[in-house]
Amino acid sequence: MTLEYADSRRQRRSRTVLLVVLALFVAPVAIAWLLFFVFPGWIPDSTTNNGDLVKPARPLPTFELATQGDEPVDETFLRGKWTFVYLHAGECESDCVDQLYKIRQLRLAQGKDIDRLQRLMLWQAEGVDAEARTAVQAHFPGQLIAFLAGSPPELVSAFQPMAGEDLEAGRIFLVDPLGNLMMSYPPDAEPRGIIKDLHRLLKYSGLG
């Protein structure tokens, strides 16, 4: 065996190993997206998604918002994890509290995958006093609350996939770890159905 032939074999072997490693990372992501967006009919009816898909997935615009904790948050918060987003306008009364509680329980239900999910409330809270804002944060520790005052208009409009709905519609949104809005759930969506969607997403996706 000549030296040149041996070097050529080593180079081919190295390229093969690299391609295999890349495939291991890319394949889970590709499968998850194909199942949800390209071949949803391939999945048996008993396991189809329970939310409303946003087609195509919608990249969210850049933003920088003030938070209840006085730390600014921007679009980079949405990178690297799946994010439940809830939009609300005005006082956070029973319907708002119910949705925030539902989101908290959905995250807790993920067990070992809990750290792959995070929560963001986008609150149009003009006219809501500081005491009421603080009370919501105290009731839901770990819930990031960001205020929509001064936000770019395209941020709110991006979360309106359903014609005619406004912030009071009470939908729960799901943003993928690349910052794309990809699914939403009506306020009366059954938690069991949302949990099934999340289990499937987290199982087949290498993201987050």
Domain boundaries, the chain: 1-43, 49-204
Class of the domain covering 49-204: alpha beta
More confident of the two residues 41 and 203: 203
Q: Which residues have a Cβ under 8 Å from the Cβ of 58 and sit 6 or more positions away?
A: 158, 161, 180, 181, 182
Instruction: Name which of 41-50, 56-65, 115-124, 191-200 the model is least confident about.
Output: 41-50
Query: What is the pTM for the complete model shown?
Result: 0.75
| Cα R_g (the chain), whole angstroms | 21
Provide the pLDDT for residue 31: 57
Instruction: Name which of 27-36, 62-71, 109-118 the model is least confident about.
Output: 27-36
Give the strands of the sheet with 82-89, arranged side by side.
Answer: 52-59, 180-185, 172-175, 82-89, 117-124, 144-147
Average pLDDT score, the chain: 82
Summarize the confidence of residues 172-191 as an average pLDDT. Answer: 93
| Range 70-80 burial, b when 16+ CB lie within 10 A, else e | eeebebebbee
DSSP assignment of 113-133 equals: GGGGEEEEEEEE-TT--HHHH
